[in-house]
Amino acid sequence: MTSRIKPDLCLISFALVGSTLVILILLALLNITATQLSDIPFLLQVAQDSRVTDSILLTFTAGLNAVIILVLLGTPLAYVLARTHSRFNNIIESIIDIPLVLPHTVAGIMIYLLFMQRGLIGAPLKDVGFIFEDAYPGIVAAMLFVALPFYVDTAREGFEKVPLHLENVARTLGATRFRAFSLVVFPLSIRHILNGCILAWGRAISEFAAVIMIAYYPMVISTLIYYRFTTGGIKESTAIAFLMILASFSVFVLLRLVTRYVGRYDDRV
């Protein structure tokens, strides 16, 4: 006689409770999709508005720009944090995480004070013709600031996962530390680095408060949606929001597909 396998009540009840969150996201997506698909001509009309497409493009490009700077500056920082164990590491890691816990408006004011034309960084750069206020560099600066912890933390975790001994072997086999980093540590952390890029980029393009404080113009998509919401009304802003969902979603799916095929070795170390 076979006894019936008892269902795992713990997992089932947890799954039921947890699904609330998934349903919440899906409901929001379905809701907005339903309203938009009910008036396709209007959606197409908004989609052809060059101010909307330009804004989406601007947001994506500025986000990408911030990520590129992050990779250049954040990768060395993440590596140093992963490979040293001084008592300063904790302090530095906490400093890196500050943008995570600040209200975005607070981050915005801090950025503004630094990069405005009379600001600590803004003033000297203005003299060489680099202006942040109401300009593209301002958007990138704000995005960089809020996205930074996402990249640095993820890259550091990736570097920490690569055994130190692997690097030591490379160094005894005639490699400089730079070479050991570029031939061994970096390739074995590539997935973490890409994930860090995606997280940071997602965070960057979603920034609103910090961006408008330093650069209301040119309008990033969040600013444009808010502007249309307050002037044109809910219908127009919802259409733009829906277009942004489609654009972001496509990019994320594309990036996830790429990361699936890159850095498979990450799982082996």
Q: What is the C-alpha separation between 79 and 70, in angstroms, rounded?
A: 13
Q: Out of 134, 187, 218, 251, which residue is the one contacting another protein (CB under 8 A)?
A: 187
Q: Out of 62, 110, 184, 197, which residue is the one contacting another protein (CB under 8 A)?
A: 184
- Span from 42-50, 62-70, 162-170, 202-210 in contact with another protein (CB under 8 A): 162-170
Residue 20 interacting with another protein (CB under 8 A): no
Residue 235 interacting with another protein (CB under 8 A): no
**Own/partner long-range contacts of 92-97 (Cβ < 8 Å, ≥24 apart):** 96/148, 96/149, 96/152, 96/153, 97/149, 97/153
Residue 182 interacting with another protein (CB under 8 A): no
Size of the site for another protein (CB under 8 A): 22
- Residue 207 tokens, joined: 């920034």
| Shortest reach from residue 174's CB to another protein, in Å | 4
Residue 169 interacting with another protein (CB under 8 A): yes
Q: Give first-to-last CA distance, the chain, whole Å.
A: 46
Q: Decide whether 7 or 174 has the Cβ nearer to another protein.
A: 174
User: Three-state secondary structure along 157-181?
Assistant: HHHHHCCHHHHHHHHHCCCCHHHHH
- Residue 190 tokens, joined: 């590539």
- Span from 24-32, 56-64, 182-190, 207-215 in contact with another protein (CB under 8 A): 182-190
**Which residues 54-83 are close enough to bind another protein by CB under 8 A?**
none
- Residue 202 tokens, joined: 């997602």
Q: Out of 105, 176, 182, 250, which residue is the one contacting another protein (CB under 8 A)?
A: 176
Residue type for position 13:
S
Residue 163 interacting with another protein (CB under 8 A): yes
Closest CA to 255 of 194, 193, 188: 194
Residue 101 interacting with another protein (CB under 8 A): no
Residue 90 interacting with another protein (CB under 8 A): no
Q: What is the C-alpha separation between 63 and 148, in angstroms, rounded?
A: 12
The DSSP line for 91-112 is HHHHHHHHHHHS-HHHHHHHHH
Residue ranges binding another protein (CB under 8 A)? 85, 163, 165-166, 168-177, 179, 183-184, 187-188, 265, 268-269
